Amino acid sequence: MPEVTALTALRAKLFGGFELLAPDGTEIAISGKRSRALVAVLCLTPDVAINRDHLSEMLWPGKFRAHARASLRQVVLGVKKVLDPICPEFLEVNRDRLAVCSPAFQSDLAELEQALADRPGMHASELLLAIVGKPLLDQLDLGDPFNRWLVGQRAQVEQRLQRAVENALAECRRHGNHLEEGRLRDAWLLRDATGPLSVSERRVRIAVLPFQSPDGGEAQASVALGLRDELVTALGQLPQLLVAGRASSLTAVKQDRPASQVAEALHVSYLLAGSVESHHDELRINVWLTDGRSGFERWAQVYRRDRAELFDLQTHVAGEVARELCRVLHLDWRDTAARRHEPGKEAYQLYLQGRALTARAIGDGVLPRAIELLERSLAMDSSFAAGWTALAEAYVYTAVYTPCVDRLAKSRRMAECALKAIELDPDQGHARAMLGIHRWTENDPVGALDLAHEAYRLEPDNPDVVLRLGAFLLYIGRTSEALPYVEAAIDLDPVNGRNFGMLSVAHLNLGNIEAAIDAGQRMVDLGMPSMWLAVATAASGNPELATEQYWQTRLLMNTVIFPPAGTRPLAGPALDTYWRIAARGVCSGSKVHRMVYCAMLDYLHSTLPDPSDTSIVAPAIWMGYSKMVFKTLGAQITPANMFCLMSLWADIEPIRQTRLHPDFLAFAERIGLVAAWKKYGWPDLLPEHHY
């Protein structure tokens, strides 16, 4: 491929009507609205390969698949005919996917984001003013599938720009640059006021905090739990609202911080909270909406219901609150869709209790109790699809977060539950994402990614679904494509340490060492293990600090992390010695320390009930112990060890030794990675011609 230079690079205007400009500034005439739309879609996500089936369904809705793909093929040929004489590097084409090469063009969106990320000055303000009143990809209308995609893309870009402007304003304040701070704020407010998104496309960010039940018993606490669950469900169905992830909302409120700090941590503009109180035969439900910036109450309401209405009031109150929020926030009201199936009162309360325990995950007997409650719920009402999805999640968490010796059995049971949920309700996206986990245990990453993409189509605002798609792409080495999904999951669920672990690995794989360290530190701050932080710190050239960071993980033993299944927990000097050997082996850079720890991994592999346990796989990857990687992941991928796959793709010593090993491609073929690459694109570090 010829080298791209400033003389050959094109320029894409994404705000307002789409234009593609030649290096001399003249517009390149691309005839046909679908041809223009195709180039615009690819320019919005440079270097991200997009599946041909997805593009053909979006651009030719209603056509048979073969006809749509044939139409897409003709459009691609026409576009290449126009662009190849000007910039042959622009379009990257293979049998299944299309992408544009980011060095081959510059967009007004990328220029604006770069200006905001650099030390902001007048240039950033001028770029903001230049797009006042110009919606992203305006004047493109190709039917409902495309329009739905465009609404989502506009919302994502708006969120990114808002965060970038907030960071730029903070940078101006840090440097005392008050003149530029004022200019930037004025430019953003002017653009925001003119509405780059129409009112129907704006999405207000809101978090639903746990409802309190200060003086009630178990039944009243169940009402509080159920009411929050109903509100999250009801508000999540309003297209103009974006609801923060449940897990982050729970974590943030436990930290007992002012409302403005909670809102900032959750990246939301509003907080919805409330309480359930008992007065004789009456339940009084207090609900209030707090402005996340000022901390002042924006709206409040009291709902009174008879105690006999314990179950029905949850749905009714949630609907009334959703209607009132639309009025207060000036949003278009639409009645939220009812569940496909309403479970009985007792079954629903058991479901809520089981979900609450599953969300906790960590703790002695927590997940077995959650499974017991959910199975009792489904025994009463086996037609409740959401109950089967919740039970599948409890089995996933059991396989991942507990030292169980039958992880594959738990995975199979999870798959059965997920399939039942999908059978009852085909819109259960989360169930599809979890079913994808089981596909990995069957060495079928193609099936896993197919399910993850479909899950994302169904539930693009579910942080668990979004993260799962990002994770699966990380596992196959498509880090550049995975990163936006990981970042989107964090945006939806920003106080979840697991998400930052994924972010740390993604940045490390891309060579962004400082960003990997920052994400790893955030993970640790949220109470998660420090190994990923240590690996990133070692890559930065500070083995002493990295070794100390890795060693600190021992403090989380038997609380957040557990010993390998079937073994007794270590304690005292034995625990300290083990973690010291591990820390030195992974982080010190000493070949002797690495050999000692590799010998210990050999012993563990030959003696542990699960020879593919995470405690063997992860350090084997970090130390470049290729043969052990092949003996573990090559023998059996489990829900617990599959996340280790994402660490294979860092181009640093000694991790790269596994990828460079002569047996790597045979290993990749055996576990289904090659098939996934052929369909979804080859890894960032492994060009197609390599195979």
Q: Residue 309 has what pLDDT? A: 60
- Poorest-confidence range of 286-300, 382-396, 613-627? 286-300
- Whether residues 43 and 179 fall in one domain: yes
Q: Alpha-carbon distance 528 to 89, whole Å? A: 43
Residue with tokens 């070949």: 591
Q: Residue 105 has what pLDDT? A: 84
Q: Residue 121 has what pLDDT? A: 67
- Whether residues 512 and 620 fall in one domain: yes
Q: Residue 6 has what pLDDT? A: 45
Q: What is the pLDDT of residues 310-324, one digit of tens each?
A: 556 677 788 888 888
Q: Residue 505 has what pLDDT? A: 96
Report yes or no on 141 lying in a domain: yes
**Between 474 and 497, the higher pLDDT residue:** 474
Say yes or no to pLDDT of 605 above 90. Answer: yes
The SS3 call for residue 83 is helix
Say yes or no to pLDDT of 442 above 90. Answer: yes
- Whether residues 155 and 220 fall in one domain: no
Q: Residue 632 has what pLDDT? A: 97
- Whether residues 534 and 474 fall in one domain: yes
Say yes or no to pLDDT of 196 above 70. Answer: no
- Whether residues 244 and 123 fall in one domain: no
Report yes or no on 550 lying in a domain: yes
Q: What is the mean pLDDT of residues 161-169?
A: 82
Number of residues that make up the chain: 691
Q: Residue 310 has what pLDDT? A: 57
**Between 380 and 125, the higher pLDDT residue:** 380
Q: What is the pLDDT of residues 643-665, one digit of tens each?
A: 999 999 999 999 999 999 999 99
Helix axes 366-380, 385-401, angle to 10 degrees: 160
CA distances from 506 to 255, 401, 452, 499 (A): 28, 22, 18, 11
The residues near 574 (Cβ < 8 Å, ≥ 6 apart) are none
Query: CB 365: neighbour CB atoms within 10 A?
Result: 10
Q: What is the mean pLDDT of residues 508-523?
A: 94
- Whether residues 260 and 115 fall in one domain: no
Q: Which of 225-229, 298-302, 450-454 has the highest mean pLDDT?
A: 450-454
Q: Which of 68-72, 186-190, 195-199 has the highest mean pLDDT?
A: 68-72
- Poorest-confidence range of 396-400, 458-462, 625-629? 458-462
Domain that holds residue 247: 204-328
Say yes or no to pLDDT of 364 above 90. Answer: no
One-letter identity of residue 223: V
- Whether residues 286 and 143 fall in one domain: no
- Whether residues 177 and 56 fall in one domain: yes
Say yes or no to pLDDT of 191 above 70. Answer: no
Say yes or no to pLDDT of 382 above 70. Answer: yes
Report yes or no on 446 lying in a domain: no
Q: What is the mean pLDDT of residues 485-497?
A: 88
Q: Residue 408 has what pLDDT? A: 95
Say yes or no to pLDDT of 155 above 80. Answer: no
- Whether residues 566 and 488 fall in one domain: yes
CA distances from 4 to 9, 42, 83, 524 (A): 6, 18, 14, 41
Q: Which of 66-70, 185-189, 614-618 has the highest mean pLDDT?
A: 614-618
Q: What is the pLDDT of residues 19-40, one digit of tens each?
A: 999 888 899 988 888 898 999 9
Q: What is the mean pLDDT of residues 194-214?
A: 65
* pTM of the entire predicted model: 0.71
- Whether residues 158 and 270 fall in one domain: no
Average pLDDT taken over every residue of the chain: 85
Angle at the Cα of 43 from the Cα atoms of 38 and 47, rounded to 5 degrees: 110
Q: Convert 89-112 to b/e letters by CB count within 10 Å (16 or more is b).
A: bbbbeeeebbbbbbebbbbbbeeb
- Whether residues 144 and 230 fall in one domain: no
Report yes or no on 380 lying in a domain: no
* Residue at which a domain ends, from 165, 197, 229: 197
Q: What is the pLDDT of residues 58-77, one digit of tens each?
A: 888 877 778 888 889 888 99
Report yes or no on 362 lying in a domain: no
Query: CB 517: neighbour CB atoms within 10 A?
Result: 24
Q: Residue 667 has what pLDDT? A: 97
Q: Residue 628 has what pLDDT? A: 97
Q: What is the mean pLDDT of residues 329-354?
A: 72
Report yes or no on 349 lying in a domain: no
Domain count, the chain: 3
Q: Residue 503 has what pLDDT? A: 95
Q: Alpha-carbon distance 111 to 117, whole Å? A: 10
Q: Residue 2 has what pLDDT? A: 44
Q: Residue 407 has what pLDDT? A: 93
**Between 1 and 596, the higher pLDDT residue:** 596
CATH number of the domain encompassing residue 649: 1.25.40
Q: What is the mean pLDDT of residues 284-296?
A: 84
Report yes or no on 436 lying in a domain: no
- Whether residues 1 and 57 fall in one domain: yes
Report yes or no on 589 lying in a domain: yes
* Residue at which a domain ends, from 197, 214, 229: 197
Say yes or no to pLDDT of 405 above 50. Answer: yes
Q: How many CA atoms lie within 13 A of 403 on its CB side?
A: 18
* Rounded percentage of the chain residues whose pLDDT exceeds 90: 38
Q: Residue 596 has what pLDDT? A: 97
**Between 140 and 457, the higher pLDDT residue:** 457
Q: Alpha-carbon distance 460 to 485, whole Å? A: 10
**Between 570 and 42, the higher pLDDT residue:** 42
Q: Residue 255 has what pLDDT? A: 61
Confidence band, pLDDT 50/70/90 cuts, at residue 507: very high
Q: What is the mean pLDDT of residues 195-206?
A: 55
Q: Is 567 exposed, middle or buried (0-12, 13-18, 19+ CB in 10 A)?
A: middle
Give the torsion sign (CA, 235, 390, 557, 559). Answer: positive
Q: Residue 308 has what pLDDT? A: 60
Q: What is the mean pLDDT of residues 261-285?
A: 83
Say yes or no to pLDDT of 180 above 90. Answer: no
Q: Residue 4 has what pLDDT? A: 44
Q: Alpha-carbon distance 1 to 104, whole Å? A: 11
* Residue at which a domain ends, from 197, 220, 238: 197
CATH number of the domain encompassing residue 261: 3.40.50.10070
